[in-house]
Chains A and B, each alone.
Chain A
Amino acid sequence: MQVKFEFAIYDEALDKFELDENIYLYELDDEQKQTYDLLKSKDLHLYNFFQESEAFKKWIKEEVYPDEIGKKIAICDINEISFRRFYFFKVTSADTHYEYFKKLFNVLHESDWQNREDVGREILEHLLVKRQTLIIELKADILEEE
């Protein structure tokens, strides 16, 4: 089974993401396919699965961004499942993204007194931290000592 991936490149100096507009195809083995089917409706669990998969990281290093050790990236889309809101969220972003983050970050309010700008700023503060956990750094392989 092939899965479509899109990535964003992280610019550490500017603390900013830029969309890589290419689509990359990754072939899942049977075990990965089973896990993918299990997690495809589980949002960040799916992200974590790929983020921690050595085979997936090896594929990125060898085929997506070869010879770019040190580069920091983040997954934007896995097939139709999008994580773009984490990198490109703005206070004016659509209601779906806004409501998603209110729930994710437990942004509470007592009687809807907070306006969109206030809540949006709070979401952005949380996102500064959350984004860092989603970044995948392309590290050099560590040679095993003989």
Chain B
Amino acid sequence: MNYKYINSMLSKMDEDLSTKGMTRRDAMKLAGLSGASFMMGGSSLQAMEKDEKPISKSGVDAKIVIVGGGLAGMSTAARLTLNLKNPDITVIEPNKESVSYQPGQTLVAAGIWDANDISYKRDDFVPEGTKIIEDKVIDFDPMNNQVTTAKGQVIDYDYLIVATGLQLDFERIEGLEHAGRAYSTGDNSRLHKAIGEDSGICSIYTAEGATKTWEQMQKYIEKAKNAKNGEKVQFLFTHPGTPIKCGGAPKKIMYLTNARLKEAGARKNAELTMYPNGGTMFGIPEYHDAILEQFKREDFKWHYRHNLVGVEIENKIAIFDSQWQEKGPFDPVMKDFEVISKHEKIRVPYDFLHITPDAVAPREVAESDIGSAGGWVPVNKETLQHIKFKNVFSLGDIAQVPMGKTGGSVRKQYKVLVENLISHMEGKPLTSKYDGYTVCPLITDIGTVMLAEFDWSVRPTPSFPLDPLVERWVFWLMKVYALKPMTMYGMLSGKA
């Protein structure tokens, strides 16, 4: 790490901020990044604790069961223990590494971190007094306030928090039917057997897949380095037709592949193409425009409205469902032309194919009474209370909240949920509201990040008084150095 460069960058940032009348510490505090001890100096976690208002703990007693012990479930458990005098909290989670740091998978896939940097053991983060059951819930019975686990335990609750996370639906892709459904962490050997060891197919959406992505990326960068006679190595990146974890991640891995190709001097022998299912690069118009400019600058190709539906592994062909719209007949009542949707399958050869799979709700949730028709847990998007069962709350990837499925969303949601759950337990109205805030540090190169922050307003909502559309080194530092400690030691202790 070039500390001289960092220091000059920090000085530049200080200059920018001072024109807005802020110090770096104020800005970081505003962004809620007091865990960023790297930038602040000193023990900022202690400072954060000092800044926190004294908590008046609620004396209400109830048995709370949390299904899912990932970042959302464990952070919620931790915050509940801080806010209840006599916490009776049980977390049901089968995966020993459920709290592993998923946002780091992109960095592992680009060879910036290694697998050990993101692997964390669940049992090291269990809040004091919280009981862990290492099992999987396979049935929800909200009418009788019970859940049943795979090992046959029937567990009663007064209040239920659903934080199971989502599943990655690789088996939906023709040619990968044997891959099954995967979780981000845990044993995904079935998936990797179906993909093959050296097929050029990879996905950063699992921890193991991130390591394999780096292996494959290096191999095809080498191929590009040695390409002759104008041959171009084809790097394809997909974005599916469902909500996904971190909507920016498919682009991040594309940008990082581009950075590694440039570093190897092989960029001119490679073609990088994005196949998004939708018709834009990002749901927020300002970020869409900025990304499009970046795509043009980096000479990326893109084809909107293409959904990956199949792969021929042996022939190295990706099959996309290409969709478009045509002008239909005139509707005399509406006084306008109708829109006719059309589609056809197209076959695209690839060397390196990065798959972002469909994200789906686990079957045990989707098919139970607590799941909606779409599978996700239907909650009031502001209070996070189940729309039908008032003693059930949900957060994180499984909650039916129309906003990004990211750790940044969870960081806002878990505090709202705990406040509202305790209010409900005390018979008070639910006053805490999730404002839809989410954040996506969009890595655009090794060393630069555009910090995409937004909420229900679907407008950029920057925490820093800086132009949110500019790619900055400081946000790269934040992504690489500050966010992980804040997540692992701030959120998982229920404080940040």
Contacts and interface: CB of A to CB of B under 8 A. Distances in A.
B377 interface: no
Contact of B278 (A19, A98, A112): A112
Interface stretch (A39-47, A102-110, A138-146): A102-110
A116 B340 CA distance: 11
Interface of A: 19, 82, 84-85, 88-90, 92-98, 106-117
Contacts of A113: 239-244, 247, 277-278
A19 to B, nearest CB: 6
Most buried by A among B278, B323, B337, B405: B278
A137 to B, nearest CB: 23
Contacts of B247: 110-111, 113
Interface residues of B, number: 37
Nearest to B277: A113
A115 B239 CA distance: 13
A76 B277 CA distance: 36
Interface stretch (B210-218, B328-336, B426-434): B328-336
B152 interface: no
Given A109-B283, A111-B248, A113-B239, 9 more contacts: A89-B334, A94-B334, A94-B338, A111-B239, A111-B278, A112-B276, A112-B280, A112-B282, A114-B278
B436 interface: yes
Contacts of B239: 111, 113
B278 A84 contact: no
A98 B278 CA distance: 15
Q: Is the interface of B mostly helix, strand, loop or mixed?
A: loop
Interface in B375-426: 402-405
Contact of A93 (B338, B403, B404): B338
Contacts of B337: 94
B334 A88 contact: yes
B283 A82 contact: no
Contacts of A89: 334
A94 B336 contact: yes
Given A92-B340, A108-B436, A110-B403, A85 B241 contact: no
Contacts of B458: 108
Contacts of A116: 325, 339, 341
Interface in B281-298: 281-283
Interface in B302-354: 323, 325, 328, 331, 333-341
A109 B334 contact: no
Interface in B107-162: none
Nearest to B409: A110
A109 B438 CA distance: 12
B220 to A, nearest CB: 26
